[in-house]
Structure 1
Amino acid sequence: MIRVIVVAASSVVRAGLSAVVSSNTHLTVVATASDLDVVSKEIEQLQPDVILLDLGSNPEPMWSKLQLIQEQQIIAIAEDIDGIDLETAFRLGVQGILSSTSTEAEIIAGVEAVASGLVVLHPDVLELLPMRQKVVANPVQTLTHREMEVLGMLGYGLGNKAIAKRLQISEHTVKFHVSSIFQKLGVSSRTEAVTAGVRLGLIML
């Protein structure tokens, strides 16, 4: 059972998202709140698998509050995707971004994916990602062919077990490749690795 905390300033949106989550037998709502401030102290006790966060029309105030709940799987829903600071969102641990127009099925699938440690991005978000990173003084180290394969599969949201099965290697070896990718790209999470890969033109989503 995937444990979800629903956070939304609007009581109507909060109730709606809670109803969507509760409609799936694999998901359960363990708490709802109008603001991250309200629920931040309860997170350790509740131990949710995912925080479903409605950013509303102005996501900016949320960024400082997200710093209070690090090490959590977060999927955000935004009215204005164009207004999201993607770099900040990813850095603060947001692993999923959906539009407020997303269907119930998309929200449920997104919650399940993020709970599994995958990255979920609405198609409109992909259009906002720069396809190549700006020129930097210290370019990243070259990835091996195998690391490129693993990075590409990370981009498709595959977990270590699925990658191992596809490449016919052990999960331990996959973890080794992922660690090497992180080091070479100068990142610390799968989300950042995929983002860097897209920016550098190493992978296409």
Structure 2
Amino acid sequence: MIQTEMRPEATCPAPRLATRSIRLAIVEEDPLVRAGVSAIVQSHERIEVIDEVGLSWRGMTAAEWDVDVLLVGGEFLDDAFGKTLARRNGSRPETEVGLVAVLQADDAAMLRSAVMCSARGFVDRETSHLDIGRAVCEVYEGRTYVSSSIAETLVGWVARGVHRERLPVPQIEAALTERELQILEALGDGMSNTAIARRLHIQEATVRSHTYHILNKLNLSTRTEAVLAGYNYVHGIRLQGPDKRAQKPGKGPRYKA
């Protein structure tokens, strides 16, 4: 399998010394997955696993992330995580913590969340046993690493975004129900199905069903296109101001992201 690297030198921190171990923390909810990932990365001579945490990371302060790299399951990459990491790196830029995200290659919402959280490593769950060690080392050295399967998703995502005409806000609001608009906004904010279900207090199957209807009504082909349409929609209504997005005729107040 061809491995892919992207190296935006202008935005990367200076490379670090390679004479000591890379201090790594693993953030993953499933304890069996954590154990498996830990076994993989600890077989690498340069990597030392300092900590393994699940949901307990939410109780940690930014200062407690005293490691070189965080290896994080994509489902954790929400706004709260991004803000905590930004506070940590903002207060201690001389020891910036790098972020490697472990993702489903075809989950554009999770991929966008990783980008918004300033991840520099993007590893496909399906090939993580091959990619994780190299990704951690590359990010530690101030470079960017992308699994080839995720690179293909990124290229397709960008290409569709460039060539697809933006749908006007009134056209979207006329086509979708209130619940579908809520889900479209959440997709545009980079949320996964799990996160959307938690936010709206509905089942993931319901989220998938609404997403399917959104695709049909807006003549979109993939979830990636729905994420892009949602992003453009959210950007459009936020430019208009809160008074322009309050509700549709005959409907109650809309959910606000």
Counterpart of 1:7 in structure 2: which amino acid? V
- Per-residue deviation, 1:62: 2.8
Decide whether aligned partners of structure 1 residues 4 and 75 sit closer, same or farther in structure 2, where only a CA change above 3 A counts.
same
Which structure 2 residue ranges, 5 or more long, are not aligned?
A: 1-20, 90-96, 164-257
Map of 2:69 onto structure 1: 50
Counterpart of 1:68 in structure 2: which amino acid? T
Counterpart of 2:37 in structure 1: which amino acid? L
SS at 2:106's partner residue?
helix
* 8 Å CA contact 1:52, 1:75 repeated in 2: yes
Q: Highest Rg: 1 or 2?
A: 2
Q: TM-score, normalised by structure 1?
A: 0.55
Counterpart of 1:69 in structure 2: which amino acid? L
* 8 Å CA contact 2:131, 2:147 repeated in 1: no
Counterpart of 1:110 in structure 2: which amino acid? A
The CA deviation string for residues 6-58 of structure 1, in whole angstroms up to 9 with x for no partner, is 011100000111111211221101111013634642x5245211101122xxx
* 8 Å CA contact 1:36, 1:65 repeated in 2: no
Give distance in 1, aligned partners of 2:59 and 2:98: 15
Map of 1:91 onto structure 2: 116
The number of residues matched between the two structures is 129
Decide whether aligned partners of structure 1 residues 134 and 105 sit closer, same or farther in structure 2, where only a CA change above 3 A counts.
closer
Q: As a proportion of its length, which structure holds more helix?
A: 2
- Aligned-residue CA RMSD (Å): 2.4
Give distance in 2, aligned partners of 1:116 and 1:39: 29
* 8 Å CA contact 2:77, 2:117 repeated in 1: no
The CA deviation string for residues 165-188 of structure 1, in whole angstroms up to 9 with x for no partner, is xxxxxxxxxxxxxxxxxxxxxxxx
Map of 2:149 onto structure 1: 124
1:107 aligns with 2:136: no
Counterpart of 1:16 in structure 2: which amino acid? G
Give distance in 2, aligned partners of 1:2 and 1:38: 23
* 8 Å CA contact 1:40, 1:69 repeated in 2: no
The CA deviation string for residues 144-163 of structure 1, in whole angstroms up to 9 with x for no partner, is xxxxxxxxxxxxxxxxxxxx
Counterpart of 2:33 in structure 1: which amino acid? V
The CA deviation string for residues 120-152 of structure 1, in whole angstroms up to 9 with x for no partner, is 1111222222148649xxxxxxxxxxxxxxxxx
SS at 1:120's partner residue?
strand
Map of 1:32 onto structure 2: 52
* 8 Å CA contact 1:30, 1:46 repeated in 2: no
Percent of paired sites with the same residue: 21
Which range moves more in the overlay, 94-103 or 24-33?
A: 94-103
Which structure 1 residue ranges, 5 or more long, are not aligned?
A: 136-205
Which range moves more in the overlay, 108-117 or 85-94?
A: 85-94
Map of 2:28 onto structure 1: 8
Q: TM-score, normalised by structure 2?
A: 0.45
* 8 Å CA contact 1:3, 1:27 repeated in 2: yes
Which range moves more in the overlay, 126-135 or 44-53?
A: 126-135
